[in-house]
Amino acid sequence: MSRFGTQLAGVAFLGVLVLLGYLAVAIYDKDFDDSELVTLRADRVGNQLAPTAEVKVKGVPFGEVRAVRSTRTGAEIVLALDPAKIGTLPGNVSARLLPKTVFGERYVNLVLPDRPQGKLGAGYVIAQDRSSNAIELERVLGDLLPLLRAVQPQKLNSSLGAISQALDNRGQPIGDSIVKLQDLLAQVNPLMPQFKADITGLANAADVYTGAAPDILQALTDLSTTAKTIVDTRADLDNLYTSVTSATGHLNDFLRKNKDNIIGVSVESRPSLELLSQYSPEFPCLFDAVNRLKPLMEKALGKGTNEPGLHVTLTVQDPRGKYVPGRDTPRFDATGGPKCYGGGAAAPGDGDLGPANSRAERQLVAEILKPALGDVPDWSSVLIGPALRGTEVTVR
């Protein structure tokens, strides 16, 4: 072969190489592809969506991502769809950007609407899915990605391996445990209304204690002051206890030596006390009459005047004659019980000491303490009555 032929063959070979390179680049750039191009507008894309990413509909490939361009409002994604399949998609189809795996790249998932309208064609603009489910899914994936980035793969692998070894050959015990748990939950479920009612009651009790918290704190503050006072007067209290102990000893000796006399006095004074009890309704009238008599006596004795002494007016009347036995003999035949002559009729009464420790007070104290303590003894008013007397009642 001549030199010219050799040079011509070399030039032809270089031309073939250039043509093959151009064809490879053109095929890679899809220059000979007849795919239908549509545009997807999204608010953001991320780093996981790249050109050549897949476009799927219900898991079936429909094309690929041809280009990704950023805009002021987000991003525009050019989708190259299979011309044989694009006609099966409605014009109001939407799209989601989903990852293939937890750590994998994203792909475009076309979502078919509930009410299809028209047919999708070349040059159409697809909107990103803005339904509540799509937003929630995107939020979950967005929150999960930083967590997965923070987890070190080698440590995660070690943890999963340890869990795998721990669960190896333990399927039957775990299954039995799950069955027992199911039986337990079946027994607990009927009790849930009562549990809910108990929780509600606990909340109501907590509200009551919350409302009473200032009073409780004030009571604790007062109690601390009382405790400090007791501590400060500890020496005086010790002396008091010593004196009381000594007095108790003397009183014990006195009672032991005079118990017979005390019993005798009690027995002998019973008739007198019964008589005083019978005439006790007369005492208020008597004391009132004495009280009204006091200013009259002071006036009769000249109080407040320059003439102290007895001031009376005496009137001499004709005598009734001599004393006649039987006619003028004093008679002690008064009957009818206690009376108040000149001061109004004596009101009948039981001769008690007022409302303190009375039957009414004992019943009131029992009603107040019963919700917290249940049945209470009759003598509870002796202990609690002094603390409750004079307190105010507030209705809420």
- List, for residues 286-320, the tens digit of each pLDDT value: 888 888 888 888 888 888 888 888 777 778 777 77
pLDDT digit string (tens) for 68-77? 888 888 888 8
- Determine which of 127-141, 179-193, 229-243 has the lowest per-residue pLDDT on average: 127-141
pLDDT in tens, 106-139: 888 888 888 888 888 888 888 887 776 666 666 6
**Backbone angles phi and psi of 95, in degrees to 5:** -135, 150
Sign for the pseudo-dihedral over CA of 305, 306, 308, 312? negative
The 3-state secondary structure of 152-192, one letter per residue? CHHHHHHHHHHHHHHHCCCHHHHHHHHHHHHHHHHHHHHHH
> Does residue 7 surpass a pLDDT of 90?
no
Asked if the model's pLDDT at residue 284 lies above 50, the reply is yes
Tell whether the model's pLDDT for residue 44 goes beyond 80.
no
Residue 184 has a pLDDT of 92
Alpha helix ranges (H) inside 168-314:
171-188, 192-232, 234-278, 282-300
Tokens standing for residue 49: 């969506």
**Mean pLDDT to the nearest integer, 17-35:** 72
pLDDT for the residue 222: 87
Mean pLDDT of 352-358: 60
Buried b (16+ CB within 10 A) or exposed e, 330-366: eeeeeeeebbbeebeebeeeeeeeeeebeeebbeebb
Residue for token pair 């930083």: 146
**pLDDT confidence tier of residue 266, bands split at 50, 70 and 90:** confident
Three-class SS state of 21:
helix
Which pair of tokens denotes residue 347?
Answer: 């009101």
Please report where in the chains the tokens 């890679």 appear, as a residue: 28
Two structure tokens written together for 317: 């009347």
CB 106 within 8 A of CB 137: no
Taking 90 as the threshold, does the pLDDT of residue 180 lie above it? yes
Q: What is the mean pLDDT of residues 233-257?
A: 89
For residues 376 and 386, give the distance between their C-alpha atoms in angstroms, rounded to a whole number: 16
Distances in Å between the Cα of 98 and the Cα atoms of 49, 88, 206 are 9, 22, 48
Describe the chain by its helix, strand, coil percentages, rounded to 5: 55, 10, 35
**Long-range contacts of the stretch 205-208 (C-beta < 8 A, 24+):** none
* pLDDT(9) > 80: no
For residue 106, with 0-12 CB atoms within 10 Å meaning exposed, 13-18 middle and 19 or more buried, which class applies? buried
Residue 193 pLDDT > 50: yes
Q: Is the confidence at residue 91, as pLDDT, over 80?
A: yes
Query: Does residue 144 have a pLDDT over 70?
Result: no
pLDDT of residue 237: 86
